[in-house]
Chain A
């Protein structure tokens, strides 16, 4: 489905990713594991095309995403939930969702689905995004990404700083997406979430791949997580 092939990328002259390769399959949750600064967020930006590659390729099915201008990537069904949410704070909830729908055509049905998935967003529809609580903002960030009917969703620390009930809600949505056949790429720091959700895990260290392990292997051998998260 989504495939990174020997991706090299970085900021200016500072190279962060070195020959990163992994695959994310439809209907699976692929966790990207690594310590702070390992290149997890950089990998996500490289997939989205907002960070140009130095070399290598990002493929989605037969399409080479890395050959496309960044603003065309979401049109191929890649939804991004960035770290820290990064909503359009001065825009309303409705306008944030509308921006999400720019990249797909069948708008109204999707909007209704999103509002059913996150009923709180319906209540807050005309409110400005930066007036929402942390949990509501995270729902909006996910709703915005789901608005484009993605076949791949990139979730960068979606439960960071949230209360337990919100964490459970976000986890439910993540599992629903997997069950609907979406390829989910998840960056997560919380061990119990990784163990519960990961179908496979790609291990990153200082911008290099240190292998891919299955979810079962993670659950059987807790030392893998300890080594790669520094916990």
Chain B
């Protein structure tokens, strides 16, 4: 394959990674932004989303599309409710103390991971995509008669991957609208800026916290349901999304939603492109190096504002 089509393929694969990463990292950024809680268990809520998606779709043998639609509607709600429960029973009792909640979420991480191992088992299991047509993609080439389209061999993407990119875009837009235009979003942002004043103006801060923690985990689960037909569900799959989400959230600026999405695009696309042209290891090395540089030279993140 020529360089051009090859780059396009790498970019599309990177865009799928970026889309899922943007969803996962937004959940982490939201929880950190509003609650100042570093949720180390975030990757496990992602894993739980994938495993539950396998479980739910396994009820609908033979009707893969219906099963998948059911999973995408219910699984994020189940995971979100579970996270809200963890908030009320664990984090609230620690008064959301930044250090103790880190230790507590490490505990939640192991509980979720080991319970999954004990019930679901150590196998990686696939989920059938609801649709999976391979679409050949055209490229342009210079001929004697001018520019013309042709279909290079191997340059293709599945319809499902395109749908993942589209779905993530729509969900992120919806999240943005909720945060900036709705009363609920206003409550979350007021709580984020001054918890005590939010309380003094009638915002039920504890309920907002439970909701935000549930929403953050639900976003991770949603990302996992979208990616599981491409990746398979496994009880240890939460590590990578957690690391990448942290990378994205640090580069984007802690708690900044637009920054998180831009950083996810940067990391996702460069991960796709560098993995294809060089190696996936180099992609991870460069991403972590970027985090180190950001932390040294611009600790508020590339797009974040410096907080007092």
Contact = CB atoms under 8 A, between A and B. Distances in A.
Interface in B73-91: none
A88 B200 contact: no
Contact of B186 (A69, A71, A99): A99
B193 interface: yes
Interface size class of B (residues with CB under 8 A): 10 to 19
A89 B34 CA distance: 14
Interface in A49-105: 49-50, 69-75, 80, 82, 86, 88-91, 95, 98-100, 102-103
B203 to A, nearest CB: 6
B194 A88 contact: yes
B182 to A, nearest CB: 11
Interface string B175-192: 000000001001101100
A98 B186 contact: yes
B101 to A, nearest CB: 18
Nearest to B208: A71
Contacts of A72: 202
A73 B190 CA distance: 17
Contacts of A45: 196
Interface of B: 183, 186-187, 189-190, 193-194, 196-205
14 contacts: A49-B199, A71-B203, A74-B201, A82-B197, A88-B190, A88-B194, A91-B193, A98-B186, A99-B186, A99-B190, A100-B201, A102-B202, A102-B203, A148-B201
Interface of A: 45, 48-50, 69-75, 80, 82, 86, 88-91, 95, 98-100, 102-103, 144, 148
Which 5 A-B pairs give the minimum distances between C-beta atoms?
A103-B202, A74-B202, A71-B204, A70-B199, A88-B193
